[in-house]
Amino acid sequence: MPHQLDLEGYLQRIGFVGEPRADVATLRALATAHIAAIPFENLDPLTDAPVSLELAAIEAKLVNGQRGGYCFEQNALFSAVLKAVGFDVTGLIARVLWNQPEDAESPQTHMLLRVEVEGESWLADVGFGSMALGGALRLVVDEAQPTSLEPFRLVTDGVQWRIQARVGEQWRTLYRFRLQPAEPVDYVVGNHFTSTFPQSLFRHNLIVARTLADRRLALRNREFAMHALGHESVRRTLQNVDEIKRVIEEQFGIRLPASPVLDARLAALPMPEA
């Protein structure tokens, strides 16, 4: 029997007040509340714990367990929520280009959602870490669209689409994708690669992120950063395991997993390059 999502429990987890409806205002509000309440984090791959894409396991972890997760978990949960509210949702899959050349050959390791609402197509994505999309984007080309923080836009060559964010004076690409719906097995393969491949970024680095109404919080290994629009970024280096764990708990609201190897993995994290 398929798992039945606890929609009310999810809405309480993200602090959503009111009656959710299948409209644009609700879509935007849910996405913005989700990324503020449920952080991006990769503690399971870092500590060799399996990452399940079963909805019951995701709900137990992200909703009931006061944890976060990465894109496959975050957007699988969000898709289930949107469908429970009454939205028409299709899963897509993308190749990440953030901090890479525009023509980089990258694997399909990112999940996003296409949502049909009020006669238009929208894109939603609550799982892109430090550049999470605050709200949703209309599926239109070359139009700067406001979000809860930076403007975003979509560009296309007619086949490939790219999501870009306005960072400072530049448009920077997050990832590229096609509009062809992904099959569930695509996410299984991407999740397996991301969480178990020996050279996967998530196996050797601590990556935690949370997007609030006025700022983005990011932890990459020992560097904790706060990025507020219109202000210089504030960064500090975390010196020891206790300090790292305190920031994860207090700044990101994560209940740390009971892993026998967590402290050792955190102790081994490299210092930022000078």
Q: Convert the pLDDT of each residue in 76-86 to its tens digit.
A: 999 999 999 99
Span 110-122, average pLDDT: 98
Q: Is residue 95 part of a domain?
A: no
Dump pLDDT digits (tens) for 121-132. Answer: 999 999 999 999
β-pairing, 88-96 vs 108-117, is antiparallel
Active-site pick, 34, 110, 242, 263: 110
Span 192-200, average pLDDT: 96
Q: Which of 217, 211, 227, 228 lies closest to 251, judged by CA?
A: 217
**More confidently predicted of 228 and 46:** 46
CA 46 to chain centre: 17
Q: Is residue 260 part of a domain?
A: yes
* Structural domain total, the chain: 1
- Copy the structure tokens of residue 157: 């060559």
- Per the annotation, the verdict on 3 as an active-site residue is no
Q: Is residue 123 part of a domain?
A: no
Residue 1 has pLDDT above 80, yes or no: no
From CA 195, how far away is CA 71, in angstroms rounded?
12
Active-site pick, 34, 125, 142, 227: 125
Dump pLDDT digits (tens) for 237-259. Answer: 999 999 999 999 999 999 999 99
- Per the annotation, the verdict on 227 as an active-site residue is no
Q: Is residue 45 part of a domain?
A: no
Active-site pick, 71, 88, 214, 242: 71
Q: Is residue 225 part of a domain?
A: yes
97 by Cβ neighbours in 10 Å (0-12 / 13-18 / 19+) ranks as buried
Q: Is residue 203 part of a domain?
A: yes
Q: Is residue 116 part of a domain?
A: no
Q: How many CA atoms lie within 13 A of 51 on its CB side?
A: 31
pTM beyond 0.75, yes or no: yes
Span 89-104, average pLDDT: 95
With cut-offs at 50, 70 and 90, classify the pLDDT of residue 261: very high
State which H helix or E strand residue 122 sits in.
strand 120-124
- Per the annotation, the verdict on 125 as an active-site residue is yes
Residue 134 has pLDDT above 70, yes or no: yes
Instruction: Kindly report each contact of residues 224-230 with a partner whose C-beta sits within 8 Å and lies 24 or more positions away, as own/partner.
Output: 224/251, 227/130, 229/149, 229/150
Question: Tell me, what CATH number does 237's domain have?
Answer: 3.30.2140.10
Dump pLDDT digits (tens) for 210-239. Answer: 999 999 999 999 999 999 988 889 999 999
**Amino acid (one-letter) located at 179:** L
Contact indicator for 203, 197 with CB cutoff of 8 Å: yes
Domain that holds residue 237: 192-267
pLDDT confidence of residue 274: 65
Q: Is residue 153 part of a domain?
A: no
β-pairing, 207-211 vs 40-41, is antiparallel
